[in-house]
Amino acid sequence: MRRCRRCEGNKRFGALGWLLLVHWLFFCTGAGSVGPCWETLLRCQEDSTCASAYGQYQAACEPVLQSDGHLPTSCPSHCIGALVRLNETRAGAALESCECGTDARCRHLKAVIEPCLPRPAAAGLGCMDARRRCEQEPACGTTLSAYLSRCGQLFNGRRCTAACRHTIRLLLATPPGPRLAHCICDGVERPFCEVLKGNMGRLCFLGSQDEGNEPAEEEEEEAVEEDEEEGPEEASEPKGAGGDHAQVRSTAPPESLGSTLLLLVLLLQLFCHLFI
């Protein structure tokens, strides 16, 4: 009987010890399912690097976090940068996927900060990665450089020129350029990337009015070029006219000289007739 009780005690102790070991591994190594946010935040505060990044995040994202029930449609670039730095720490990355449970304040903060979160590559190819892959290919990298130099007015949201549209078509036809059309704006470049994609869709692909006005603008440019070309011709006309006048003037001196000589001859004849 004593041996059986000892066996049962050993079994209970072994099961309890195994459960405690698994529990310790879960909370110390971060394995298992995602924990509650309050516990994840405590882990972040215990890590000096994560605590510093979390403080910068609170300061940079304060306008977004203090929004009263209205979800922001965009996010300040410095807030996105602070989130990127926080996400680079181990405990900070866990804050993105932690569980709020019944904490209404936690759920609200997650909802308002969601537009600012760096989108992971798992949801799709990030545009930063797509750009790096394009730059690694000589043909795609050259076309990308041409796109950056010819689409300056597109970046400013003014218009999409014919040269810019042509370069975009070449870029999307040069592997791995097509990935840039379907990539997801991510990382610190996300604000500029989203604005650029919006301008491209509005001015280059959906801007039928801009495309209609483009020939007129090109005609104006051609007219200016024609005027510049006609300028030297018009300037040459006075020179030509002046040349003609110069030719007339060059022939005039012999005529005037002949008339003067004839007049002198007549005067001499008259003088001789009167006094001789």
> Is the pLDDT reported for residue 225 higher than 50?
no
pLDDT at 160 over 90: yes
CA atoms within 13 A on the CB side of 31: 7
At residue 129, the pLDDT reads: 82
Residue 247, CA distances (Å) to 156, 192, 238, 259 in order: 57, 67, 14, 19
| pLDDT reading at 39 higher than 50 | yes
Nearest to 113 by CA among 77, 72, 82, 78: 72
0.75 exceeded by pTM: no
Phi-psi region of 69 (alpha: psi -120 to 50; beta: other; left: phi over 0): left
The amino acid present at 213, given as its one-letter code, is N
Domain boundaries of the chain, sorted by first residue: 34-118, 123-209
Q: DSSP assignment, residue 36?
A: B
Task: State the pLDDT confidence band at 71, using cuts at 50, 70 and 90.
Answer: low
Lowest mean pLDDT segment, chosen from 99-108, 156-165, 185-194: 185-194
pLDDT for residue 25 is more than 60: no
* Structure-token pair, residue 230: 């006609």
